[in-house]
Amino acid sequence: MEATKSIFIQGEWLESESEETLTVVNPATGDQAGIVGFGDGRDADKAIDAAHAAFASWSQLTARERSKYLYNLYELVRNHRDELAELISLEMGKPLREAKGEVLGAADNFMWYAEEAKRVYGDTVPSSVSNKRIMVLRQPVGVVAAITPWNFPVNMAARKLAPALAAGCTVVWKPAEGTPLSAIRLFQLFEQAGFPKGVVNMVVGKPESIGQAFIDNPKVRKIAFTGSTRVGKLLMEGAAKQVKRVSMELGGHAPFIVFDDANLDAAVEGLFESKFRNCGQMCISANRLYVHEAVVESFTEKLVERLKKAKVGDGRKKDTEIGPLVNERGLNKVLDHIRDAMSQGARVAHGGSRLTDGDYGNGFFIEPTVLVEANEEMKIVYEETFGPVIPVIAFKDEASVVTMANNSNYGLAAYAYSENVSRCFRMAEQLEYGIVGINDGSPTQTQAPFGGMKESGIGREGGVYGMDGFLETKFVSITV
């Protein structure tokens, strides 16, 4: 099989400088899904040069002109949703229904920022000196280097590239090596949307080498990253040398709290969304379940009943609700968390094992798992699991559960279920997380701010908040 070109610079599809290739594997079957070019820092530097050269003219276009390209892209992504969704499912295992949802979410971002491009307002501020005027301009930061993970390969790109382009920045994107096929298809659509040469560039390739080029090359003015806290810290350290702007969407460890006054059926459905969607491979996935001791047994029974009905399988099959894990490393981490919890006294209420019978044997499948009698010593209660396993901890009162929920270096998402409106407000205010779902297991929308506190990140994506990181604020003082 000939390698598909995966490097797009100055409007051209190129071979990598290294001439290396990458084989993409379908995690549901173990079969080869494609072979693509695999670049490095040399390709990244060429892409940065192209983005830098294009910046002057792109940033000078009117917002309405930039907006047209984003609209074109919105239409194209919507019209190609099935094809993009199939590629996502093929290369990382996501069930098709969810993959289509992701692609539509990405399209929505392109549309939203096509609109928002026109609303980058400045200010005039009353002066304290009679012959001076204060004008505040908002201008694009310059060349943006974007790095994204495999778990939402299309939408993570959209959430960065759409606001960056709307603001007037030019972009170099490094997608994850797990998901280059959907990235290539998305960039073919960028090409079709007619963006001027050099405005959008993509390099699939070696992460360390490309990351270093983004850090070292002074033409890059901002690094926009979604991924693990470990890599985020490396990039922040590197970016500090030139005081580059950064925005960081990093890991999470979400507490999911069910009070005794909750609607338990709604809480089970919310938890299913939060924990088992994308096979638990989401930064906002519930990672710890706290249930009030009065309802812990009945809630666990309802949850197990729900999981018994969930069909695990190849994401491309119609009835699949839970797909495979993305790769063997991901699978081993999940199995390690289960083993560690069991060795410290947790009991399996459902699942607990890798699936190996028949077709499952070739992929990275695991049973959706519930571990009861968990405690705070277990790895699963403080390390990000990224898989379909939930530990259950019973709690006695509101104050103690808030303390346990906040006892984490992470601060991305938290969830609370209760029918008591005062308690809901207390949870919204007291949980130290950037996103709080109150009776909501899926708290994401294009226009809402998405991002974390503590080691879960810096900055926000989404809505008007998502533009801020791509704009500088300039003060112009005028003597009249």
**Active centre residues (catalytic):** 249, 283
- Total residues contacting ligand NAP (rule CB under 6 A)? 26
Q: Minimum distance from CB of 325 to ligand NAP (Å)?
A: 12
Nearer to ligand NAP, 321 or 384 (CB): 384
- Exactly one of 61, 207, 263, 327 binds ligand NAP (CB under 6 A); that residue is 207
Q: Which of residues 112-171 bind ligand NAP (CB under 6 A)?
A: 147-151
Burial of 322 (0-12, 13-18, 19+ CB in 10 A): buried
**Residue 55 interacting with ligand NAP (CB under 6 A):** no
Q: Which residue has the tokens 């047994």?
A: 297
**Residue 44 interacting with ligand NAP (CB under 6 A):** no
Nearest to 102 by CA among 177, 154, 42, 160: 154
Q: Minimum distance from CB of 209 to ligand NAP (Å)?
A: 8
Between strands 7-9 and 12-14, the pairing is antiparallel
Q: Minimum distance from CB of 207 to ligand NAP (Å)?
A: 3
- Kindly report the CA angle at 463 between 457 and 468, in degrees rounded to 5? 60
**Residue 47 interacting with ligand NAP (CB under 6 A):** no
**Residue 176 interacting with ligand NAP (CB under 6 A):** yes
**Residue 434 interacting with ligand NAP (CB under 6 A):** no
Q: Which residue has the tokens 């890059």?
A: 220
**Residue 239 interacting with ligand NAP (CB under 6 A):** no
Instruction: Name the one range near ligand NAP by CB under 6 A: 135-143, 185-193, 228-236, 299-307.
Output: 228-236
**Residue 208 interacting with ligand NAP (CB under 6 A):** yes
- Exactly one of 39, 227, 323, 443 binds ligand NAP (CB under 6 A); that residue is 227
CB distance 169 to 472 below 8 Å: no
Q: Which of residues 255-294 bind ligand NAP (CB under 6 A)?
A: 283
**Residue 250 interacting with ligand NAP (CB under 6 A):** yes
Q: Minimum distance from CB of 335 to ligand NAP (Å)?
A: 17
**Residue 453 interacting with ligand NAP (CB under 6 A):** no
- Kindly report the CA angle at 122 between 120 and 128, in degrees rounded to 5? 165
CB distance 201 to 173 below 8 Å: yes
Instruction: Name the one range near ligand NAP by CB under 6 A: 137-145, 207-215, 270-278, 309-317.
Output: 207-215
Q: Minimum distance from CB of 386 to ligand NAP (Å)?
A: 6
Paired with 20 in beta bridges are: 38
CB distance 404 to 383 below 8 Å: no
3-state secondary structure 79-139: HCHHHHHHHHHHHHCCCHHHHHHHHHHHHHHHHHHHHHHHHCCCEEECCCCCCEEEEEEEE
- Exactly one of 252, 323, 387, 466 binds ligand NAP (CB under 6 A); that residue is 252
Residues 439-472, buried b or exposed e (16+ Cβ, 10 A)? bbbebbebeebbbbebbbbbbbbbbebbbbbbbe
Residue ranges in contact with ligand NAP by CB under 6 A: 147-151, 174, 176-178, 207-208, 211, 226-228, 231, 234, 249-252, 283, 384, 412, 452, 457
